[in-house]
Structure 1
Amino acid sequence: MNLDLNKLTCTASLTDTERAVLEFLLTHIDEALKLGVRGVAKANFTSTSTVMRLSRKLGYNGFIEMYYKLLGAAGKGTPVYELNEGFLSHFAGDGNVSMENYRSLRLAAQRIHKTDQMVFIYGMGFSSMMAEYLAKKLLVLGIKCIFSDGADSIGVFENNLEDIGCFIAFSRSGRSPYVLNRVKMAEENSVFTMGFTNDGASPLKEYCSCVIEVPDDNPLDDRNMKPTLFFSKTITMIELLIYEYYQISIG
């Protein structure tokens, strides 16, 4: 493969081992994602910390982002789109994903990709499970984030406010004062805000930079006692957000 590594490394000063790992990734790009951090480290007789250090030196948030950037450099970006065509088909059909929701998800993915600060994710009660799920998805992508729920002090949010680039709130009702207060404070401090909430009357919509409206088949069930598809549909929206993040990363 005739690639000038200096163009990829720019001003980064790499050790011989890190350079060897980079060359391995470029020459084994088709299998690198499957190998993962541990597999790449093992193939180069080095540690996982060396692989992660390489990604940071090259300016990426983690191994996944580095992989997709190198995939584009190797001229093999197309298979990623083909691989995900089946995934996108799940969102086809009437009413599955509104154009407004899609634009909001796309905007949120762009802001998450753009920020070099932390992403703060907050949810209470049942919604906290959705917040924690998104936090874990972002963490495995190498994105710095904090997950917080109703058990945490407001200090967790306030003491990290200066380092927050995006604030994402989950609230089925959109009426929780704890959620609304944090969103308002984030907006007042010029932090990009995103809210996942029901598609009915939700005060949360008034305060967020962008909103994902999720259909709620039992909007009056405040105790979450009845069967509902609200949370499973919220997970679906999260996966579409992650998909858009990938598309932006390799663009």
Structure 2
Amino acid sequence: MIDLYSWPAPNGHKVHILVEELGVPYRLVPINITQGDQHQPAYRAINPNGKIPAIVDHAPADGGGPFTVFETGAILLYLADKAQRFVPAELRARSDVLQWLFWQVGGLGPMMGQAQHFFRYAPEPVPYGIGRYQNETRRLLKVLDERLEGREYIGGAYSIADIACFPWVRIHKMTGVALDDFPRVQAWYGRVRSRPAVGRAMDLLRGSWVDVTTSSDARHNLFERG
């Protein structure tokens, strides 16, 4: 059994998708980041970075006691390795998938997150910030579009690289960047979105989603608390 501490946001959705794809038993523990649950000492003991998601695996492969993993790239790799699915075993193919996984966690996610923030959440318009992060989002989407030429999925076969990228591409409208100039990304997005496990994952905690633009408490807990 895996305890999955999460919330319906792009980083949470990554792990939602993988546990649904794997069909592993899990218990979803909502961490309401709009109410500040991520800052509570009990959760910080699980994830010292105070972000979502995190997991506690009560049946780790080494047979030892419960094992905690935080940071989405690490969680995806841990679960995929344990199940021996969605990450290749062959050296070159594995490295290929991991390069794109790290590309997402180091680039696509942070840049789209900042684009979303300045475009949608900043209390005052900051033209430089909006332009800077929207331009970088477009550049990264172009990189992904070029990668997908002649491929259905980022690593050839569906993998944790696709699972990591999908939830961030999903929020492109919230960044103010359209996908019109990235036809291969659009086609890839449709292929991933049509997977039944992805549909189930997107429905997890759907009713709990909060529009941060309408809640001063949410803005405080997400953007102002240390």
From the CA coordinates, give the structure whose radius of gyration is larger.
1
The two structures have a TM-score, normalised by structure 1, of 0.28
TM-score by length of 2: 0.30
The answer to which structure, 1 or 2, has the higher relative contact order (CA under 8 A, 6+ apart) is 2
